[in-house]
Chains A and B, each alone.
Chain A
Amino acid sequence: MIFNRRLQSVFLKEIKEIYRDKIYLAMALVVPVILMILFGFGLTMDVKNIPTAVLDQNRSPQSREYVARVTRSRYFTLENYLTEVSPIDQELTEGKIRLGLIIPPNFDRTLALGQASEVQALIDGAFPDRAATIRSYLEAINLEFNQELTSRWHLATGQTVPWIEVETRAWFNSDLESKNFIVPGLLVTNLFFYPALLASIAVVREKESGSIFNIYCSPIRRWEYVTGKLLPYWGIGLINYVMIYLLSDFLFDVPFRGSFLFLTLAAAIYLGASTSLGLLMSILFKTQVAAMLITTVATMIPAFIYSGFFIAVNSMGPEAQFMAYILPATYFMELVRGVYLKGLGLQVYWPNLLVLLLFAAGFLSLCIHKLQKRVG
């Protein structure tokens, strides 16, 4: 089944070399799994178990009820229940707690009079996004508490105050667990920078060793060499993809609602883009170090920051949105999360597929164009 002998010889040679370099092979197959496990467990955006100290100056059943509402939720963990005036500020400074609640001495009496009582919440503002989340949790709990208070009071006094209840529902990720978007997101970022990094030494290694001259001085065509070189790394990328997919399913238990076949098709095209990007770097640079460093910087950081991994692209600033749109990872990110969490497929994401195809074709033709069978 030789359809092109020269292409096939480059392809087979590359596979043999990769297969026999056990360290490289191990790096190629194991590192993505390790990264996935490390990041999958270690990267969580959930704000939960927030260490909390309470200074209850009231010590009434009602104040304890209020505290219980807060600390019973999975978001807060009671570290310290204080009844005396205490160094709550100091604990915050030392980083032992992230939230301090201060309940005034006349908490229950004020409420019984039908008046408003103030509860102070001291939030550690060192991490602003976490502070905002803590605040929003607290307010939700507080609202619920007030709602009950009010309705009881309404019953007792016959007063009427309008009340609008907001029933919140989160589609696609009903428990609002961050791993459900982090893990599919990692599939996208890891399949962007790692295959690119692996491919980034493919050609430049031959330049450093001198074996590139075999290619320069032979009648092989540029497209044959580029394609033969690319295919093995693309294959490794596919293996990585399958392993990450399996991890997401069995280890992280992320819901998968779409079609595996469709996801695989999209991943194959996406890997075509990321591998040829790495190969392009390998063709452009003269040393392995330069090729690897530039590839890492050009793929890893943008993949995490601009692809919509943490922040939705549509709430980014214009410069960041521009970066997002020139990044293949952005298009795949949308698709992957859609397939995983929304169960969507080709009918929605065919434009993404098309864009990815264009990226892959573009990088590949750049590779062929930039590979000169010449030194320097």
Chain B
Amino acid sequence: MHQRLAALLRKEYLQFFRDRALIYIVLYVFTIEIYVAGTGFNIEVRNYPTAVYDRDNTQWSVQLAEKFRLPYFRVTHLVHSDPEMEALLDQGTVSLVLVIPYGFARDLAEKNHAAVQAIADGTLSNTALLAMGYASQIAQEFALELGERLGRVVPGTEHLGPQVQLKPRVAYNPNQKAEWFASLIELFSVITLVAILLPAAAMVREKERGTIEQLLVTPITPVEIMLAKVISMASIVLVASALSLFLVIYPIFGLPWRGNLLLYTVATALYVFSATGVGLLIATVCRTLPQTILFLLMVIPPILFLSGSWTPEEALPTGMRMVTYLSPLKYYLTIAYGILLKGAGFWQLWQHFVGLTVLGLLLFGFCALRFRRYFG
């Protein structure tokens, strides 16, 4: 068993390292691709295109409008009529219109209370929500500033009356650096992609070229063929992901050193093994590379999307939420984030480890079964 497996493993590594193009692609996706994704991803509200419809046109209304400025809002238009405002929103030229009604300053002076409207283009609902939140905050700050200027409020909070001061603290990522999130998400996606694709392609290639038949006539068992593929490809993915952590994510994006890297490596190994299991499973079904690609196209996006990486699982309908338990990435994502970002230890994550292991074993066992039946 050892000698045969060793011979096969040597073959797998030789073949991988002979394929220059493949090496470059793997290196690229594990370094440059992760760097690009880490810097390029930004879903925050920045430069939100805004128009101001000032019907009051007083000193105070102008001052309020001036508070809408970069980096959040970029005021590009001053509108003077309803149709004009509608046209701007319709055509998507601006995404927010601040409407200051007639009598704004008068109300503020007399009743101490005035209302303005923030009309957002709700098409992209998540950014619209954030923008409306910022608009409220700006208006509130302006009101306080005005109160101080008018001498109605003495600087300092005591005289404002009772009030709950919310002190939000964003844990693990206090400055809300999108690079950490984006680069890690990209790393996990790339691990998934490569760990499924590499063994699937390697296996289907042997089927297409007929070399698999040559192997099956020898005393090698199907499980040995499978193990050779899994061990070689998994080890390559592990080394590549270490490269991306130590060459890109830690040094360039300055991810803080938290958590136990050994534990992380164990989790990654577990995950990569189950992902290669998925890849080999696909290889037992598909006969040609084009088929494999179509199949992967149907398998990989759900694994990515249903892991909670892009969409918060809490927001999914119940049925969909049950489906997420089938995505091995879901467990791995929680574990990897837990270790790398939150510095969690094994005992805080053991349930997810159990989930990952069980799912991995199931996938692996099913794959071995298929292999035995298919090639045996």
Residues of A within 8 A of B (CB): 27, 31, 34-35, 38-39, 41-51, 66, 77, 89-90, 92-95, 98, 110-133, 135-140, 142-143, 145-146, 149-150, 153-154, 157, 159-174, 176-178, 180-181, 197, 201, 288-289, 292-293, 296, 310-312, 314-315, 317, 320, 334, 337-338, 341-342, 344, 348
Contacts and interface: CB of A to CB of B under 8 A. Distances in A.
A154 B301 contact: no
B116 A166 contact: yes
B158 A42 contact: no
A226 B177 CA distance: 49
Nearest to B176: A128
Given A138-B166, A161-B161, A45 B125 contact: yes
B12 interface: no
Contact of A149 (B123, B161, B170): B161
A92 B310 CA distance: 19
Contacts, number: 334
B276 to A, nearest CB: 20
B122 interface: yes
A42 B306 contact: yes
A216 to B, nearest CB: 23
A47 B315 contact: yes
A317 B178 CA distance: 15
B314 interface: yes
15 contacts: A41-B316, A42-B311, A45-B125, A46-B315, A95-B334, A136-B133, A142-B166, A162-B144, A165-B113, A167-B118, A170-B120, A171-B119, A178-B125, A181-B123, A315-B46
A344 B91 CA distance: 9
Given A140-B133, A159-B161, A47 B173 contact: no
A111 to B, nearest CB: 4
Nearest to B157: A116
A169 B118 contact: yes
Given A150-B162, A320-B40, A119 B167 contact: yes
B264 interface: no
B118 A129 contact: no
Nearest to A174: B122
Assign chain B's interface to a size class. 35 or more
Contacts of B95: 312, 314
A142 B168 CA distance: 11
Nearest to A91: B348
Contacts of B90: 338, 342, 344, 348
B183 to A, nearest CB: 12
Interface in B138-180: 139-140, 142-144, 146-147, 150, 152-153, 157-174, 176-178, 180
Contacts of A153: 161-162
Given A43-B310, A139-B133, A145-B164, A167 B117 contact: yes
Contact of B120 (A92, A168, A178): A168
Contacts of A44: 311-312, 315-316
Interface string B266-303: 00000000000000000000000110011001100110
A288 B176 contact: no
Given A42-B306, A167-B116, A136 B160 contact: no
Interface stretch (B233-241, B242-250, B335-343, B368-376): B335-343
Contact of B115 (A31, A111, A164): A164
10 smallest A-B Cβ distances: which pairs? A173-B122, A170-B122, A125-B173, A136-B133, A125-B170, A176-B125, A111-B162, A129-B43, A49-B314, A168-B132
Given A43-B310, A48-B314, A164-B139, A178 B126 contact: yes
Given A159-B161, A315-B49, A128 B125 contact: no
B112 interface: yes
B146 A129 contact: no
Given A123-B168, A146-B163, A42 B302 contact: yes
